[in-house]
A and B are shown apart, each in its own frame.
Chain A
Amino acid sequence: MLTVEQNEELTRVGPGTPMGELLRRYWYPIAFEQDFDTVPTKTVRLLGENWTLFKTPKGGRYGIAAEACPHRNASLTYGVVHEDGIRCGYHGWKWDFDGNCVEQPAEADNENFRTRVKQKVGKAEVMGGMVWVYVGPSPAPELPRFDVFVMDGVKDVGHATLPCNWLQIMENSVDPHHVEWLHGYYFEFLGQTEGFDAPKAFQKKHLRTGFEEMEWGILKRRVLEGGSEENDDWKVGHPLVFPFYMRVGGAGIDQMQIRVPIDDTTTWKLFYSNHAPEAGVWEPQDRPVVYEYRWRDEQGRFITDYIEGQDIMAWVSQGPITDRTQEHLGRSDAGVAMLRKMFKENMRKVAAGEDPLGTVREKHDIIPLPCERDKFGAEREFAEAFITMGSMRYSPNKQALLDLHADAWARREGAKAKA
């Protein structure tokens, strides 16, 4: 359990808060490329602040500025985008990519006034079909090119906006034990009640779990019933990538789960998947397939007959900001305690003027992350369950993904038979 003060410190993400200052040292995806196909601007909310994200008409350069114009707070989202910045629609004040005021049409070229006002701006770049932004202090770190976003394959992104604090989603990532209960036992119960076959791969009991600090976060390992430390689940494991991702995958699917802290009580939750099964054949994609997954039904009840829907039930039902003064942690929650320590440690680093964990300052092509390939010892079943029993069941590309994996499986079996 935590004190009221500790819970607030760990969950408040606005400007000037210790967690807000830490989180402002990282790049976040905040929109998709296709959001700008018909309009040049979009209002986005990140870390408790509203921003205008814009794309220049000819050069295709992205920029981000605080939404309120410093003149009289009108929205820049309803402004005019130029190649060298954005102009407020209200009185024409123009801002460049560095936040300098370069024109104030009604002020008769009063340069002294212009230089006194500055707009809050960040950096914006495209990677993997998403627009990423950095709204922290300069110099901005490099945008980390984690493997899933840049590797070859068929990409599929499910997303939804959830009414809960991002930290309770992160704490779920260092809680392996929930898998056998929420996605195993509860799923089986639901299947028996409602008449469907729940996936069996998630029902295996955990015999041992391990948490290890590494350069990108916390590496999580597990030994499941019937397995040993020789299995990928222990030998390789998969990481919580500090401070807002989890890398998972297996059976030819690589996935980054992304939890963007919109504000204290709202999180944009994305499942960014790359499908590249061994021996699979696919056409190059221009952009990932993007769609919203559902998590509440018409009656307002949580939809819990798929893996991520079950997780969402847990995260959202914990409350907008879960009250950690009322929790009772057990031995299996040691990873949760370790994650809180990691946040405190890195808040302190930022306060001391140091770069926090996972800051990338060097140019690079790809950052490979450890992730098991053989998941739960159930390759074919796992790939199919991942697609049909997870948020990908809402993908307009679902059948094509199932066909890709089935075809790759057949090719591998054929090759084995020949050998």
Chain B
Amino acid sequence: MKPKNPHFFSRIGIAIASFFKIIGNSEFAGGVQALRLAERQGKAAKAAAAAAAKPVAPALKEAAPDGALQLLGLLQREARFIDFIQEDVAAYPDADVGAAARLVHEGCRKVLSDNFSIDPVREEEEGSAITLPEGFDATAVRITGNVVGEPPFNGHLTHRGWRVVETRLPKLSGSHDLQIVAPAEVEL
């Protein structure tokens, strides 16, 4: 009887283990190669072979483009963001770029403050000593430098981080075309 196929998380484990074994063990690598050859000839599941050859990519979800398009539209409307980035700044003296940057900065700031509430992740002053307990949230805090041993970790806060605590993006009518982040303007 054919053994049951390993489920997703087991497969990640197998793939990672295989990856390092292929790198480190030429005999094992040869075996895998033979298996792959046989698979290709036998038109068997390619995916399993690929999984054996490199780490399995976790199932990445595709971010819905609507929110990104909407934000892009807001940044263009309030801050002329796309105009600014699409222009070749090399051709202009710093004073001109600076003047435009003020406009862009002011507008971006308005978009941020109107649509998001953003708080620092850590309330401590930057530069102050920080102790990270066991089981700290690795998404909210990124450790760098001499990363060895076991938590609690002692270190210094180099960046306070930002956390969006509230999003208030405008609601959209279903029929509005978000691809148009700035309509062409025609003066009559």
Q: Do A and B interact with each other, yes or no?
A: no
Q: Which residues of A contact B (CB under 8 A)?
A: none
Q: Which residues of B contact A (CB under 8 A)?
A: none
